[in-house]
A and B are shown apart, each in its own frame.
Chain A
Amino acid sequence: MTAIKRIFIANRGEIAVRIIRTCRALGIETVLGVSEADRESLGARLATRTVCLGPSPAAESYLKVPTIVHAAVGFGCDAVHPGYGFLSENRALAEACVENGLIFIGPDPENLEAVGDKLTARGHAEAAGVPLVPGASGATVADSDELAAKIGFPMLIKAVAGGGGRGMKRVDRREDLAAQIDLAISEAAAAFGDGRIYVERYVTIGRHVEVQIISDGETVLHAGERDCSVQRRYQKVVEEAPAPRLPHKLRSGLLDAAVRFARHIRYRSLGTVEFLVDVEREEFYFLEMNARIQVEHPVTEATTGLDLVELQIAIAEGRPLRIGQQDIRTSGHAIECRLNAEDPENNFMPSPGRITQAWFPSLPGLRVDTHMQPGAMIPPFYDSMVAKLIAWGETREEAIEVMRRALKVCQLDGVKTNARLHEAIMNDAEFQRGGVDTAYLAGLLSTVAEGEKGG
């Protein structure tokens, strides 16, 4: 066991500030590696020391493994915290840390390998008895009966050589299957020069539900689930815990499956196992495991009272977990809104610029994770998230009410933000009822657009 005294933070924005928060509380010094564009950021002002890694583009600063390791060693750090995004799940960084006597605050390179590649991760899920979307490869017309029984309808036929939605066919009825397989094979052969197809179950109404894992390699715990179904183009916009209106059987099923998966790969660190919940069939399927602290971790912290970054650091130090599953009790409901500097009225174009006013007063039940302050610059080089509002209430209704208040009170001027979209979501009857699917937000956006056209 090694007590960490100085952490090199290889990240930026709100997560750098979030990590500094816990480090200060634990008496750990921080060295923040920044790009030229972030020299004056809040994180740079709060860290014990700040060092410029390179020019503004991430490829020349935040993604430079040798530079980060050299700086961490040079400044006498014992550990590297990679945050999320950037190099957070990068095996080269994890290995370079090991080779240079630094603790990588995350899982070991073997764990990263086990979850880094989708196919490898699926193999592990299968071995751990964790359900995957039923499917079959190399199907022919002769397999129709077997496919219909195993996969069911609706079904999706994909060209093996296709991708990004190209070469996909949806089949809704048994009587159409043989003809569609034939057609798909000849179309794939014509379009991609490769007639092989892959068939899988199509989920009409799907929810994105994920499970927070905390593991020291021996004790594998879960800290409940998060529902991240409110998405725009696969980007999460609103997250909440617990998942509303999720049948008990599904909830306990996916919590167990997540723990089983983490135990199977001997996972050691914080991690998140993502599932697709098939609402109509009342089943769930493994999607992937994220081997890092997640953007939406605060909703879990709000409902469990845990400091996940503190646990992550303690596990990295080699300390055995001092809590058991019975010690993790969830209470109330938490919702997170991701405030982005983007223009919802102009196709969500990023809106970088200088912040003229930033005011996030404390309200009962509200937590704000942000690196914004008056005068802060939002550079055009990185993602557009500028703040996370996290509302907690005894009930989901109360949490929504806290968020509605927060959105009315808080102010961020100088750039365009998606704050009004969040208000529309919080005021929407369907969201308020709870349990929306991943297609929900696209529908709400088109309704809002229609409404504005009609006056």
Chain B
Amino acid sequence: MLEIHDLTKRYGHVVALDGASFSVAPGRIVGFLGPNSAGKTTTMRAIFGLVRPDRGEVRWKGKPVGPEERARFGYMPEERGLYPKMKVGEELTYFAELSGMKGAAAKEAAAGWLGRLGLGDRADARLEELSHGNQQRVQLAAALVHDPELAVLDEPFSGLDPLGVESLAEMLVQTAATGVAVVFSSHQLDLVEDVCQDVVIIEHGTIVLAGVVEELKAASPRRSLEVTVNGDPWVPVLPSGTVTSKKDGRVRVLVDATVDLGEILAGARRVGEVTRFSFEPPSLTDLFLEAVSEVRGA
């Protein structure tokens, strides 16, 4: 279990982290969300000792994290980069050794990862000779080559095409299935919704929402109401609610969970033929926007 406890970090007058706390359990995939410069990268760097917090600490299995613990962590920074001129096999072996694996085991692990990535025959190719997508895969392998117990990935999906996104998502699910705690940041909320069991949302250095995605959705006092009416555009008349999208006669509204659905449906039918009427928990995007706007409004 990784515990982020009360992390606070200031750079001059800029508050990067302001008492951020959350945890990541083994075998879980945690989506770490937040607007730009909310404190995601600073938090991840603090886990690896690359940022020294002014207050608070990072704990692993109940103990403060030091070099020994970090050797069992894997990190993929937002700024991608490996040695471009090194042979891929040697490069992965090198990173495995730096994380404490012995020579032969490190070599084996590197070869194993290249095999899993479908690059088994490219071990002697220089990194720069690989395609962009394959370089990204090697970057991920560099973070995971030493079989870490915790994987921290900063924006792992950025810059990937849909196929790359899919294969990376699958790899993360497989990794977590072996008991690894996985935490990654992303701006692609629909993707996070698909891949993650847990979510942590940060804004202005403070955690504004954290928990199991499905539970958060269910516990939300809001519901997503989607109505499509054939005929004149339907204008919802509701005591409360925000229209989130409106397209080709389809209207999506965030409403209180307690609204009278019968009344709304009747109102819509007066306008035209109702071809779609759905009432569901809010999406992760809804939760995110709500959580972030609450902080910004305050």
A-B complex is real: no
Which residues on A are within 8 Å of B, measured CB to CB? none
